Amino acid sequence: MKSNNHLRIAVDGESGSGKSYASKIIGKKYKCYILNSGLAYRYASYLIIKNKPKKIIPFLKKKIKKLNYKKLSKINLHSEKISFHVASLATIKEVRNIIKTWQRNIVLQNKRILVEGRDSASVILKKNPKFDIAFYFDCSLKKSAYRRYIDLKKKIPLKKVLQNLRNRRLKDKTRKHSALKKHKKAVLIRSDLLSKERMIQKMAKEIDKVVNKIKN
């Protein structure tokens, strides 16, 4: 495969659906820059909790504009406090616009990119440039909650993890701006019905079809 060919992959789905794991494997396999769109929102929450600005919009405009994506991996952005805060922050239109502008700049700088999040296909890679292929991850609440419980090393009761996940999913699907939904052209991945190996195989099969079309 020629790495100079463009390839834009959108991966959306619910919290705890396994999309992050799959995105890392697929992104590496196809030599794509991996952009986890949700990390920018988590970083915004982290900044607000830490600095307590009086006016969050001007504050975030300045901070997000200078954001170096690679530095996010060095910060713990997955605490329960941040998870609770970001669920509300992500519903604010002005905040979404600030982060969307930053995300789009990264997309335009990378010909081969995988964008993982909740509005990758419907917003970030909607057009100019549009995704070459999109996936939507779906998973039962119980299975997702248990995965998150293990990720958190059982430090938080499973019942609480399940409740937080239920609330986050509800907010994601009912928010006014960029609500989570499956794009009509997205390939459905039922991660609770597939092993990790089968999940990756299914995605790779669909991506290879697209890659062959791009080559030809």
Answer whether residue 212 is part of any domain: no
Assigned domain for 211 exists: no
**Does residue 129 belong to any structural domain of this protein?**
yes
| Rounded Cα–Cα distance for residues 137 and 133 (Å) | 14
Q: How many CB atoms lie within 10 A of CB 2?
A: 8
Cα angle 119, 130, 20 (rounded to 5 degrees) comes to 40
pLDDT for res 114: 98
Is-cis flag, bond preceding 58, omega within 30?
no
Please compute Rg for the chain using Cα positions.
Answer: 17
66 is written with which tokens?
């200078």
Overall domain count for the chain? 1
- pLDDT digit string, tens, across residues 72-128: 989 999 888 998 899 899 989 999 999 999 999 999 999 999 999 999 999 999 999
213 within some domain: no
Q: What is the pLDDT of residue 79?
A: 87
Domain assignment of residue 59, yes or no: yes
In a domain? residue 118:
yes
d(CA 16, CA 71): 23
Please give the Cα distance from 193 to 15 (Å, whole number). Answer: 16
In the block, which residue shows the tokens 């989570």?
180
Does 4 have pLDDT greater than 80? no
Distance CA 117, CA 15 (A): 9
Structure tokens at 89: 């922050």
Beta-sheet pairing, 7-13 with 133-138: parallel
Name the residue among 67, 170, 186 with its Cα closest to residue 116. Answer: 186
Q: Is residue 176 part of a domain?
A: yes
Question: Worst-scoring range by mean pLDDT, 7-21, 117-131, 151-165, 190-204?
Answer: 151-165
Q: In what order do the strands lie in the sheet with 133-138?
A: 33-36, 112-117, 7-13, 133-138, 187-190
92 within domain boundaries: yes
Give the tokens for residue 76: 């713990």
Residue with tokens 């079809």: 209
The CATH number linked to 189 is: 3.40.50.300
| Residue 88 structural domain | 7-205
Q: Which residues contact 38 (CB under 8 A, 6 or more apart)?
A: 86, 116, 117, 118
Q: DSSP string covering 134-156, please?
A: EEEEE--HHHHHHHHHHHTTT-S
Over residues 14-71, the pLDDT tens digits come to: 988 999 999 999 999 999 999 999 999 999 999 999 999 999 999 999 999 999 998 9
The Cα 112–Cα 123 span in angstroms is 18
In degrees, to the nearest 5, what angle opens at C-alpha 115 toward C-alphas 147 and 154? 15
